[in-house]
Amino acid sequence: MNTKGSKFRTFYLSLFFVILYVPVLSVVLYSFNKSSSTAQWTGFTFDWYLQLFNDRVIFESFKISMVVAIITSTVSAIIGTASAVISSYVSKKVESAINGVMFLPLIIPEVALGLSLLIFFTELNLTFGVPTLVIGHSLFCVPYIYFMVQLRLQEIDSSIIEAAKDLGASSWQIVKTIILPLVIPSTLTGSLLAFAMSLDDVIISTYMAGPTGTTLPVHIFSMMRTGVTPKVNALSTLFLLGTFLLIGLNQTIGRKGEKFYEEN
Amino acid sequence: MKEQLLSLKKVNKFYDEAHILKDISLDIKDGEFITLLGPSGCGKTTLLRCIAGLESIESGDILLNGESIKDLAPNKRNVNTVFQNYALFPHLTVFDNIAYGPRIKKVTKEDEIKVKVDEMLELVKMEGYGDRMPHQLSGGQRQRIAIARALINNPDILLLDEPLGALDLKLRKYMQTELALLQKQTKTTFIYVTHDQEEALNMSDRIVIMNEGRILQVGSPRDVYNNSNSLFVADFIGDRNIKEVEVVERKEDFCSVKLGKSIIDIRTDRSMVKPNECDGKVYLAIHMDKMKISYDKVDNSLYGEITFVHYAGSQIRTEVDVDGEKVTVIEYQNDYDNYRIGDKVYISWEENGAILLPKEDIEKRGN
């Protein structure tokens, strides 16, 4: 009975991972395929990677993606953390109002969100490019950081704040010396998440890009229209590698932050 | 006589509808070790938080060195608190935790702060722990750091909110002695909140007994232990047999009361009830550990049958049925610890162990 159950579990889990990762693995594998077709394996090569590095357009769009992701994660970190800290100081009513506002961008379908931003920015006569991309991405990145920091804030023992007050700290000093240091790990993990989300966003970016702001995912998407070449595979592989690095970094920071709370 | 360090004047505190502190008045002298003792929910922690400034008061006044501090924010009052769960800053080292107060105030130079922190670490016997993080310390060690962090500010008063509550029994007893020593050493006024009477009796100069938002009795440990002024205090402090008895005769300094079929004399010089007030029914309270069992007849004693013997190592608790009333006697190991259930015995007591209390409680008499 028991072994039967565990066998089923093993089978189920294996199936899950096969379905999840085999396509990903094949993408990685075919990025090293000599033939430009994905139908058959004809030999090992780095050619597609070389082509990739020599492609000016891809390099430009990669640069835009990075710039947008860096600015977005920074801006979102500041706005998200500040809003979360502020929300802990206001009345319950105002706090739930802020929560509601933060939830909206997560609920509204991205297609609709992108479209409304497009119309709004056109009305404002804004030039589409990096700034509009940053605003668009921040819209859905801020809430993640906000909620992550808020969760952390709720974990902080209120007597720690009282102790600081008792020892002579003003409200601002408490924020600076106690609250911020305690939530920074959450802010960092949140902004890494924001970085990753900004980096691989397609929908909002498509609306916000304009002629000068084609991000890498948008470019990959357009490359697909002319058929898949192993160059796309190579690009995806690098993207994957970058994402894994980010996740690893995220985990390390997260674990460091956890330590403070272990016994509190 | 020195001026009062802290004066509470008719302090009242409400949470919504609930009246948490009712007309609390109390004077505390410099250098005293005062304990606020009472069951959970009696308002003792709230009173402490009002003194610290973490709670506001609705009416009355709090004077520190003669000046009202009731409207001052906690960071402007020269009192510091040791919290029940220590409340150390988890992201700061032990050193930085202790240095927090002086650094925030920005009046002391960093090299002076270092000297002071080292002094504090030595005071609480935690030298060499400056670089540790709070989560690397045991409960007792954290407690010491919390005390050091508060004391470095040279507070007029150190407020301690059940600081030993989370420690195990052995460590708690050890820390009691340490705390009392520390208080003598630093000559700082301590206001200590606890629900543990042993802690209170052990450490305090004076004990303030509270119940339901009121102060019932203020006195030295010996005073509140022996001369409890109300039924609540008598029941709360120490282990006592408390029985409703009938007054049969009133003399100048004692009353004769009837418990079961026995008529016994109780001296009234320590009691709240004076002979001329003895009227019908009163409460008799006798410390269990000031009673003695004997097989031979003794004057002024109760007579009954042993119904149960609890052997608890150093002490023996014997339950005796006195005409239907259960009387418990606590004796320490002696030669006569072979009581058998069913034995007929006499129970006597030390005179200072017995008091008479009025039927209605002191608070209801509007005292």
A13 within domain boundaries: no
Interface of A with B in 180-199 (CB under 8 A): 181-182
* Percent of chain A surpassing pLDDT 90: 33
Q: Where are the alpha helices (DSSP H) in chain B?
A: 44-52, 94-105, 110-123, 139-151, 169-186, 197-203, 221-226, 231-236
Answer yes or no: do A170 and B52 touch at CB < 8 A. Answer: no
Residue of A166, A178, A187 for testing the chain B interface, max B β-carbons within 10 Å: A166
Tell me, yes or no, whether A31 lies in a domain.
no
> What is the per-residue pLDDT for A137?
92
Chain A contacts of B84, Cβ < 8 Å?
Answer: 159
Name which residue leads in pLDDT, B68 or B359.
B68
What is chain B's alpha carbon radius of gyration, rounded to the nearest angstrom?
A: 24
Q: What is the pLDDT of residues A37-89, one digit of tens each?
A: 767 778 888 888 888 888 888 888 888 999 999 999 999 999 999 999 999 88
CATH code for the domain in which residue A86 is found: 1.10.3720.10
Q: Which CATH superfamily is domain B4-226 in?
A: P-loop containing nucleotide triphosphate hydrolases (3.40.50.300)
Contact A162 B74 (CB under 8 A): yes
Pick from A15-24, A62-71, B278-287: least confident? B278-287
Where along chain B do the CATH 3.40.50.300 domains lie? Answer: 4-226
Predicted local distance difference test score (pLDDT) of residue B322: 87
pLDDT at residue A117 above 50? yes
Select from B89, B111, B85 the least CA-distant residue to B98: B89
**A173 touching B (Cβ < 8 Å):** yes
pLDDT band at B336 (very low <50, low <70, confident <90, very high): low
pLDDT score, position B220: 92
- Rounded to 10 deg, the angle between the B110-123 and B94-105 helix axes is 130
B166 pLDDT exceeds 80? no
Q: Which of A13-17, B114-118, B348-352 has the lowest mean pLDDT?
A: B348-352
Distance from the Cα of residue B282 to its chain's centroid? 26
Tell me the β-bridge partners of B190: B33, B158
**Measured between alpha carbons, how far is B98 from B130 in angstroms, rounded to an integer?**
9
Contact A260/B at CB under 8 A: yes
H-type alpha helices, B88-217: 94-105, 110-123, 139-151, 169-186, 197-203
pLDDT of amino acid B148:
92
pLDDT value at B365 more than 50: no
Q: How far apart are CA A72 and CA A140, in angstroms?
A: 10
Residue A227, pLDDT score: 72
Query: E strand or H helix at A114, and its extent?
Result: helix A110-123
SS (H, E, C) A209-242: CCCCCCCHHHHHHHHHHCCCCHHHHHHHHHHHHH
Residue B295 identity:
Y
Query: A264 to chain B: which residues are within 8 Å by CB?
Result: 90, 134-135
Least Cα separation, residue B90 to chain A (angstroms): 5
pLDDT at A180: 93
Partners of A170 on chain B (C-beta within 8 Å) are 75
Domain boundaries for CATH 2.40.50.140 within chain B: 239-359
Check CB contact of B166 with chain A, cutoff 8 Å.
no
CB A249 within 8 A of CB A190: no
Residue B357 DSSP SS3: strand
Cβ–Cβ gap A162/B54 under 8 Å = yes
DSSP E strand boundaries for B30-78: 33-37, 59-64, 67-68
Distance CA B167, CA A135 (A): 53
Q: Identify whether the C-beta of residue A138 lies closer than 8 Å to the C-beta of residue A78.
A: no
Lowest mean pLDDT among A46-55, A102-111, B86-95, B109-118: A46-55
Is the confidence at residue A188, as pLDDT, over 70? yes
Residues of B in contact with A181 (CB under 8 A): 91
Strand partners, B325: B322
- Give yes or no for a contact between B315 and B271, defined as CB atoms under 8 angstroms apart: no
Minimal-distance CA residue of chain A relative to B76: A168
Rounded to the nearest integer, the mean pLDDT of chain A is 86
Instruction: With a cut of 50, say whether residue A264 has pLDDT above it.
Output: no
Per the structure, the complete domain to which residue A67 belongs is given by: 48-263
Residue-wise pLDDT for B205-263, tens only, equals: 999 999 888 888 899 998 888 888 888 888 888 888 888 888 877 777 778 888 878 88
- pLDDT tens readout for residues B184-206: 888 899 999 998 888 889 889 99
Taking only residues 129 to 158 of chain A, the set having a beta carbon closer than 8 angstroms to any beta carbon of chain B reads 157
Q: Using CA atoms, how far apart are residues A243 and A197, in angstroms rounded to an integer?
A: 10
A245: confidence class by pLDDT, cuts 50, 70, 90: confident
Please indicate if any CB of chain B lies within 8 Å of the CB of A82: no
First to last CA, chain A: 42
Residue of A nearest to B93 (CA): A260
CATH architecture of B239-359: Beta Barrel (2.40)
Task: Say if CB B237 and CB B228 are below 8 A apart.
Answer: yes
CB-based contact, A171 to chain B, within 8 Å: no
In chain A, how long is the greatest CA-to-CA distance? 73
> CB neighbours of B263 closer than 8 A, spacing ≥ 6?
B248, B256, B257
Nearest chain B Cα distance for residue A122, angstroms? 47
Give the number of domains in chain A.
Answer: 1
- Nearest in space to B305 (alpha carbons), one of B291, B278, B325: B325
Which chain A residues are within 8 Å of B99, Cβ to Cβ? none
pLDDT band at B17 (very low <50, low <70, confident <90, very high): confident
> Quick check: A109 contacting B, CB < 8 Å?
no
Output the pLDDT for position A260. Answer: 55
Query: Hey, is the C-beta of B80 within 8 angstroms of any chain A C-beta?
Result: yes
Nearest-by-CA chain B residue for A263: B135
**Which of A160, A168, A260 has the CB atom closest to B87's CB atom?**
A160
ipTM of the complex: 0.78
**For helices A230-261 and A180-199, what crossing angle results, to 10°?**
170
Sign of CA dihedral A89, A95, A98, A99: positive
Assess whether pLDDT exceeds 80 at residue B126.
yes
Report the percentage of chain B scoring pLDDT > 90: 18
pLDDT grade for B360, boundaries at 50, 70 and 90 = low
Over residues B142-167, the mean pLDDT reads 89
Token pair of B150 as six digits: 């508060």
Give yes or no for B312 touching A (CB within 8 A). no
CB burial of residue B12 (10 Å; 0-12, 13-18, 19+): middle
CB-defined contacts A:B, below 8 A: 73
Whether B97 and chain A come into contact, CB under 8 Å, resolves to: no
CA distances for B87 relative to A173, B129, B305, angstroms: 17, 18, 53
Write the single-letter amino acid at B162.
E
For chain B, give the mean pLDDT: 85
Supply the DSSP symbol for B74.
Answer: G
Specify the range with the lowest mean pLDDT, choosing from A198-212, B10-24, B327-341: B327-341
Residue B337: its pLDDT value, please? Answer: 58
* Strands, E assignment, B201-253: 206-211, 214-219, 240-250
- The reply to whether A206 falls in a domain is yes
- The whole-number average pLDDT for the span A210-216 is 83
Query: Which one has a higher pLDDT value, A127 or B145?
Result: B145
Cβ neighbours, 10 Å, residue B170: 9
| B149: chain A residues, CB-CB within 8 Å | 163, 167
Q: How far apart, in whole angstroms, are the C-alpha atoms of residue B12 and residue B25?
A: 10
Q: What is the reported pLDDT for A68?
A: 93
pLDDT at A71: 95
Cβ distance of A159 and B87 shorter than 8 Å? yes
A40 lies in a domain? Answer: no
pLDDT for the residue numbered B251: 75
Q: Does A258 touch chain B (CB under 8 A)?
A: no
